[in-house]
Amino acid sequence: MRKEHSHQSEMVSQLLYGDCFKIISTKKEWVQISALEDEYTGWIDQKQFKSIAQKDAVDLTKKNALYTTQLVDYIENEDQSLSAVVLGSNMGGTGFLNQNYKGNCTQGIKEKAALVKTAYLYLNAPYLWGGKTPLGIDCSGLTQMIYRINGHSIPRDASQQVGLGQTLSFIDESEPGDLAFFDDQEGNIIHVGLLLENHYILHAHGRVRIDRIDQTGIYNFDTQQHSHKLRIIKKIL
């Protein structure tokens, strides 16, 4: 998804295989869309989607989602050629595209402990602004995908995610799977990570990595200094 209707425009997010959206407007070979999952808007190329009925799109997003659990897998096309799909792709709509998928999927709402297991699948994925896949992901795309695969829908950006859940006063009150948010000097939320046990945090910074967290913020093992200033901790589930 691009910020503007141009291939040179900034990528603000990604649509994975099976993601549904509604069209807001069109401009030449581009369409402006709003994703059904989180209402995030951007521009995509008209050659990259197939139209389906609104009810089918809503059902596929809200009721019938089947998320892949492999880092990278493949689907079989009508002509028996193969196409790659990545972790967290929604395979519930393969029938609309006359494709076949035989890999492993997960469905439904999972308990909080499952968030951490999913999080480790993204470990060492390279950082990519706007990314949502193991091949490149940003901090809020990471937390959104971890929650999504386990049946919980949260917004796309860290500045939106911080509006969810219950505020915790201290790290010691948190549980694995809670989210920690970090701000800049102006007080803007600019980073988010998933809390693990024993004061560790998994987050996307250069790559998806695990660092220590304290009441000051994230302590980077490589630089031996704090990299992000803690603003707030939220219990989402």
Tens of pLDDT along 69-112?
999 999 999 999 999 999 999 999 998 989 999 999 999 999 99
Contacts for 93 with CB less than 8 Å, ≥ 6 apart: 18, 20, 52, 56, 60, 64
Residue at token pair 């917004």: 155
Helix axes 139-149, 113-121, angle to 10 degrees: 130
The vertex-84 CA angle with 82 and 111, nearest 5°, equals: 130
Share of the chain above pLDDT 90, in %: 96
**What are residue 179's DSSP bridge partners?**
194, 234
Cβ-based burial of 166 (10 A; exposed 0-12, middle 13-18, buried ≥19):
exposed
> Using CA atoms, how far apart are residues 88 and 148, in angstroms rounded to an integer?
8
Structure tokens at 12: 């603000």
| Helix (H/G/I), strand (E/B), else coil: 200 | strand
Which region holds residue 165: left if phi is over 0, alpha if psi is between -120 and 50, else beta? left
What's the pLDDT tens digit per position in 53-63?
999 999 999 88
What's the pLDDT tens digit per position in 213-232?
999 999 999 999 999 999 99
State residue 128's pLDDT score: 98
- How does DSSP classify residue 28? T
Q: What is the model's pTM?
A: 0.96
Contacts for 1 with CB less than 8 Å, ≥ 6 apart: 11, 12, 13, 14, 15, 33, 35, 40, 41, 42, 43, 44, 130
The vertex-156 CA angle with 103 and 161, nearest 5°, equals: 120
According to DSSP, the β-strands at 105-106 and 132-133 are unpaired
Q: Which CATH class is domain 123-235?
A: alpha beta
Structure tokens at 149: 């695969």
Cβ distance 218 to 209 under 8 Å? no
* Domain ranges, ordered by start, for the chain: 21-106, 123-235
Over residues 111-118, the mean pLDDT reads 97
Give the phi and the psi of residue 145 in degrees, each rounded to 5: -70, -40
Over residues 187-208, the mean pLDDT reads 97
State residue 63's pLDDT score: 87
| Helix (H/G/I), strand (E/B), else coil: 159 | helix
